[in-house]
Structure 1
Amino acid sequence: MCGMVPGSTALNVVVLLYLSSLFAPSPVSSIKVSTPAELHASKGETVKLSCTFTSTSTPTSKMSVDWSYRPQTGGLPHTFFHFSSHTFPPDDGQFAGRIKWQGAPARGDASISLINATLNDNGTFTCSVRNPPDVHGSPNSHTVLTVTPKSPSIRFSDVAVLLAFVVLPSGVITLVLIGRMLCPKKESKVYRSPIEVTEGEEYVTHPQGAQVKRFTCCDLHLTDSEDELDYYSLKKRPPRDEHYMESGV
């Protein structure tokens, strides 16, 4: 057997270590992107699609952000928003004019806002961040958006109509019934002037200086129908003076 040359063995070890360090992934050069697992919104609302990232390298002009969308009904995802020093919102398609950049790369924020959410926006949104030389780790993260119809709300006009036709009349009727229960009906007494006094009736006078009782809410009542008939029949009788004048003629 041929003996091993010590010098060549040492050289082979050095070359192997160099190649391993050159092609092996660096454990410190990595990036991690995070998004909420689920988001819920009502139709017409503005939804913030939150995306944050951590990187071992300071974000530079080479950093880029991509947002893609995959419909709930299925299909291939497509990129609709791109950021690389400047924002590139969609000019056409489903999200045209409805995407607003909310990110701050220096703080590790790559969020966007979706304006006027619709039921067609239900699906999976993916945030992808690249920050060379951090090319390893978890550069992508997904969030599922669910948009539901907006719950109906009671308008002021509906409340006004309800108060006008239901609550107010019920309140008035209730107050009237409570008033009749607390103020029982009293016996009515009809006072007539001296001109209306007829034969068989005595004229009732009040002593001078006597105080007249003021009526309160409990003293107010409706005159019975029989009293009204007697009162009006007495008024229709001719005065006694006219009767005597006719007899003298």
Structure 2
Amino acid sequence: MRGWAAGGLLRLGLLLLYGVCSALSLEIKVDPEVQAFVDEQVTLKCSFRSFSPITQKLTVDWTYQPLTGGRMETIFHYQSVAYPAVVGTFRDRISWVGNVAKGDASIAIQNLTMNDNGTFTCAVKNPPDVHHNIPQTKLTVTHRGFSFQLTSAVLLSILVFLPSAIVVILLLVRMGRKFGVLKHRKKSGYKKSSIEVSDEPEHTEQGTCLGRMGTWCLQCVDTDEEEPY
């Protein structure tokens, strides 16, 4: 009987201890993976839920560990006010964007570099709620590709250049077709009418390069295509 009673008391004590630990714990959530770009800003989100009222004793600590390994470094601390890192890799580059009253413990990092790649952890304590999971965020920083670097000036240049290029191409095609028609007329023995002959300048020399160019330009602007005799 004594053994049964002792075992029952032990189980009851364990259940009570488990209930107390569950009641005095926090739930923390972060993004498992975040991608960002060099020289830009990224927000590392961290949300929490505490079963105790939020007080001035609540603390938030962000730590960082490089992808290559090494010791973990505390880069941000919050307790009523923000205390960003004043030394190290993230000096003067971290800002507080959270709101503990809404369960938000997020931070932002400016002017990202390739050396910022690594693992970040968000730890929140709100006594008596001090036990919680340790979620991690893996940050990957890369160079932004050319397709994402279209500034307003580049877009404006494209919008101006593209229509102009299309017009030039259409004109070249039109002139090429007319030039082909003229060559065909010349080979087939095309003869000009008396009106066309009278309209030609008297001083145009057909035998010279300048004369041939003038004749070709006059015939290009003539949109009426006559059939050869």
State the TM bucket, normalised to the shorter chain: 0.5 to 0.7
Question: How much has 1:116 moved relative to structure 2?
Answer: 1.8
Question: How much has 1:164 moved relative to structure 2?
Answer: 10
Structure 1 residues 158 and 32, CA gap change in structure 2 (3 angstroms):
same
Question: How much has 1:158 moved relative to structure 2?
Answer: 7.8
Structure 1 residues 160 and 143, CA gap change in structure 2 (3 angstroms):
same
Counterpart-to-counterpart distance in 2, 1:163 and 1:104 = 49
Structure having the higher Rg: 1
Where structure 1 has 5 or more consecutive residues not aligned to the other structure, the ranges are 1-8, 193-215, 222-249
Post-superposition Cα deviations, 1:145-165, rounded to whole Å, max 9, x if no partner, equal 011111124672985997599
Q: Does 1:148 align with 2:147?
A: no
Alignment counterpart, residue 89 of structure 1, candidates 76, 80, 84:
84
Q: Is residue 124–residue 130 contact of structure 2 (8 Å, CA) maintained in 1?
A: no
Alignment counterpart, residue 53 of structure 1, candidates 29, 44, 48:
48
Question: How much has 1:177 moved relative to structure 2?
Answer: 2.7
Aligned-residue Cα RMSD (Å) equals: 3.7
Structure 1 residues 172 and 55, CA gap change in structure 2 (3 angstroms):
same
81-90 or 35-44, larger mean C-alpha shift:
35-44
Question: How much has 1:188 moved relative to structure 2?
Answer: 2.0
List aligned pairs for 1:9-24, cutoff 5 A.
20=13, 24=17
Post-superposition Cα deviations, 1:37-92, rounded to whole Å, max 9, x if no partner, equal 11111222211100000110121100000001000111011101000000001122
Counterpart-to-counterpart distance in 1, 2:161 and 2:101 = 55
| SS of equivalent residue, structure 2 residue 135 | strand
| SS of equivalent residue, structure 1 residue 191 | helix
- Structure number with the higher helix fraction is 2
Question: How many residue pairs end up in the alignment?
Answer: 183
List aligned pairs for 1:1-249, cutoff 5 A.
20=13, 24=17, 26=20, 27-138=22-133, 140-152=134-146, 153=149, 156=154, 159=158, 169-179=168-178, 187-189=191-193, 190-191=197-198, 217-219=222-224
Structure 1 residues 100 and 161, CA gap change in structure 2 (3 angstroms):
same
Q: Is residue 25–residue 129 contact of structure 2 (8 Å, CA) maintained in 1?
A: yes
Post-superposition Cα deviations, 1:74-128, rounded to whole Å, max 9, x if no partner, equal 1011101000000001122211121111101011100001112111100000100
The TM-score normalised by the length of structure 2 is 0.66
Post-superposition Cα deviations, 1:198-239, rounded to whole Å, max 9, x if no partner, equal xxxxxxxxxxxxxxxxxx731499xxxxxxxxxxxxxxxxxx
The TM-score normalised by the length of structure 1 is 0.61
Residue identity over aligned pairs, in percent, reads 36
